[in-house]
């Protein structure tokens, strides 16, 4: 790759910032990464990767010479015109997006005409306009502003950077938007060049739609359970319709993660704050919360009162191939089981350390087999490959009971039944 590519700054070295930094470094840019977390920056300087994301370690190592890590913005400001912002925007207590970190970055901006803020963090529609107004009020209006929302998926983020479905660039048509478009050009992705507000809304609407699809198929699964249909067959038949598509039509115990819940809530409240009642998203959220809890009633239906019963949770991360526990369905499920008096053993191939911090009360195990030992029931929570491929003939003799709840419809019911166990999926016959 050419070494003459535009150098960039990346502020925030979390899941989005690190992948963006490593991805652009691979394309030939020098990347100046900044984070307020000094321990994280120290680890990155030593060549350690603070998160689990397949392929990221190799990508960072391969491009180490082009990646510069600091807690100080000065290097990024000196070397780069484009400053990508990838700091967190978690929900506040009220459910709105918390823009404290974004605002802290804006406060540090020099406002020179040489620089542009490129917003990768997911922010409510209108944030770009507010930031530009604030910059104007501070006499820093010369600084350009671009919205460039991120769509990567944890677990396949490196591949998503290289092969994005689309690149969205929202600006007023100046040099900075052109420079961002140029940076992404080698990826040959579909480009949506639009205004800032529309770019911001594309991100929120995309996540809200995906969450809606999940809650929709989960409700269909629940109706399947009442009517004898099989949601796997239904999802396949529905998904083959080109207008609908097959992705995100897999029923399960609800979506988690750092993005869907907060972005659905942020969009709902953004609408409410603007005077519009976004009814559909209320239902999407409620269905998802109830879905996480349905496993508890399934357990009770099969094994009665859960007090003193041992339940093994297989997988804890919010999805496979990540160590991210933010918003994981396992958090709600485990809390409900503990509240019912169950003893909860748990295993996750990667996320144990993160899970221990959030749920110290669980009995953590080193393997799936240890987790099922003496269990009255086991629940597949996260469909890691090693859990999908578990040898159920070895599981059965270890368990005290015989119930297997497949919270992701990812297991083979025949293999489980052949091992003498009782299989129950979500909306499956
Ligand atoms: N994680 C995803 O899958 C994903 C996907 C698309 C979009 N997003 C959005 O991207 C943004 C970042 O998400 P993430 O998951 O990477 O977050 P993260 O929590 O993993 O990382 C955020 C980083 O920003 C740092 N930070 C906070 N304040 C800072 C400041 N003032 N200066 C410098 N660094 C600062 C934190 O220390 C942390 O390292 C969010 O708005 C999120 O909604 C996330």
Distance 10 CA to ligand 1 centre (A): 11
Q: Model confidence over 62-115: pLDDT tens digits? A: 999 999 999 999 999 999 999 999 999 999 988 889 999 999 999 999 989 999
Lining residues, ligand 1, CB within 6 Å: 11-17, 34-37, 40, 86-89, 101, 104-105, 120-122, 150, 152, 154, 258-259
As a whole number of angstroms, the distance between CA 149 and CA 166 comes to 10
Report the C-alpha gap between 9 and 136 in whole angstroms.
22
Which structure tokens are listed for 74? 């000065």
Ligand 1 atom 13 nearest Cα: 88
Residues 405 and 378: beta-carbon distance below 8 Å: yes
Q: Which among 33, 125, 224, 259 is annotated as catalytic?
A: 259
Could you read off the pLDDT of 374-406 as tens digits, one per residue?
Answer: 999 999 999 999 999 999 999 999 999 999 999
> What DSSP character marks residue 91?
B
- Confidence at residue 429, expressed as pLDDT on a 0 to 100 scale: 85
Looking at the predicted structure, is the pLDDT value of residue 134 above 90? yes
Q: What residues have CB less than 8 Å from 48, skipping those under 6 apart?
A: none
pLDDT digit string (tens) for 172-206?
Answer: 999 999 999 999 999 999 999 999 999 999 999 99
Mean pLDDT confidence for 12-20:
98
Bridge partners (DSSP) of residue 212 are none
Say what the pLDDT of residue 2 is. Answer: 45
Categorise residue 5: left if φ over 0, alpha if ψ from -120 to 50, beta otherwise.
Answer: beta
Cα of 386 vs centre of ligand 1, distance in Å, is 29
- What pLDDT is stored for residue 258 in this prediction? 87
Percent of the chain with pLDDT over 90: 97
> In angstroms, rounded to a whole number, what is the distance separating the alpha carbons of residues 107 and 92?
20
Taking only the tens place, the pLDDT of each residue in 222-254 is 999 999 999 999 999 999 999 999 999 999 999
Q: Which residue's C-alpha comes closest to atom 27 of ligand 1?
A: 87
Q: What is the pLDDT of residue 428?
A: 95
- Half-sphere exposure at residue 239, Cβ-oriented, CA atoms within 13 angstroms: 16
pLDDT greater than 70 at residue 1:
no
List the one residue out of 203, 17, 192, 211 whose CA is nearest residue 125: 203
Distance 210 CA to ligand 1 centre (A): 21
**Cα–Cα distance for residue pair 85/17, rounded to 1 Å:** 8
pLDDT for 357 equals 97
Nearest atom in ligand 1 to the alpha carbon of residue 87 is: 24
Mean pLDDT, to the nearest integer, of 257-277? 93
> What count of Cα atoms within 13 Å lies in the side-chain half-sphere of residue 370?
11
> Which tokens sit at 42?
């120290």
Examine the residue annotation and report whether 148 is marked as an active-site residue of this protein: no
Q: CB within 8 A of 385, min separation 6: which ones? A: 320
pLDDT band at 117 (very low <50, low <70, confident <90, very high): very high
Identify the band that residue 4 occupies on the pLDDT scale cut at 50, 70 and 90. confident
Nearest CA to ligand 1 atom 28: 101
Indicate the average pLDDT of the chain: 96
Query: What SS3 state is found at 340?
Result: coil
Q: How far apart are the first and last CA of the chain?
A: 53
d(CA 84, CA 315): 34
């Amino acid at each position: 790759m050419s070494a003459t590519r535009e150098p960039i700054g990346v502020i925030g070295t979390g899941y989005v910032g690190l992948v963006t930094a490593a991805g652009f470094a691979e394309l030939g840019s020098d990347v100046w990464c900044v984070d307020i977390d000094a321990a994280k920056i120290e680890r990155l300087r030593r060549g350690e990767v603070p998160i689990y994301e397949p392929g990221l370690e190799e990508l960072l190592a391969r491009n180490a010479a082009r990646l510069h890590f600091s807690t100080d913005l000065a290097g990024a400001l000196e070397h780069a015109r484009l400053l990508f912002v990838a700091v967190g925007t978690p929900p506040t207590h009220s459910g709105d997006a918390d823009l404290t970190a974004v605002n802290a970055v804006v406060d540090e901006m020099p406002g020179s005409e040489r620089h542009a803020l490129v917003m990768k963090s997911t922010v409510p529609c209108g944030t770009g306009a507010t930031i530009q107004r604030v910059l104007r009020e501070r006499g820093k209006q010369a600084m350009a502003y671009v919205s460039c929302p991120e769509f990567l998926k944890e677990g396949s983020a490196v591949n998503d950077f290289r092969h994005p479905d689309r690149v969205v660039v929202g600006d007023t048509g100046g040099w900075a938007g052109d420079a961002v478009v140029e940076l992404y050009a080698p990826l040959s992705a579909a480009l949506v060049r639009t205004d800032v507000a529309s770019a911001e809304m594309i991100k929120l609407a995309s996540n809200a739609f995906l969450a809606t699809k999940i809650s929709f198929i989960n409700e269909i699964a629940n109706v399947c359970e009442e009517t004898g249909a099989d949601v796997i067959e239904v999802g396949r038949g529905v998904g083959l319709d080109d207008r609908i598509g097959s992705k995100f039509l897999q029923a399960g115990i609800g979506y988690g993660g750092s993005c869907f819940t907060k972005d659905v809530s942020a969009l709902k409240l953004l609408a409410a704050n603007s005077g519009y009642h976004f009814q559909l998203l209320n239902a999407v959220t409620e269905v998802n919360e109830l879905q996480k809890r349905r496993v508890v009633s399934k357990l009770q239906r099969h094994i009665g009162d859960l007090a003193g019963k041992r339940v093994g949770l297989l997988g804890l991360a919010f999805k496979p191939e990540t160590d991210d526990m933010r918003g994981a369905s396992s958090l709600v499920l485990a809390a409900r089981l503990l509240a019912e008096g169950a003893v909860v053993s748990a295993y996750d191939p990667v996320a144990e350390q993160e899970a221990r911090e959030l749920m110290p009360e669980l009995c953590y195990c080193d393997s799936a087999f240890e987790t099922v030992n003496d269990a009255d029931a086991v629940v597949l929570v996260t469909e890691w490959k090693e859990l999908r491929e578990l040898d159920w003939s070895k599981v059965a003799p270890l368990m005290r009971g015989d119930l297997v709840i497949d919270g992701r419809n990812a297991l083979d019911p025949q293999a489980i039944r052949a091992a003498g166990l009782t299989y129950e999926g979500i909306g499956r016959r």
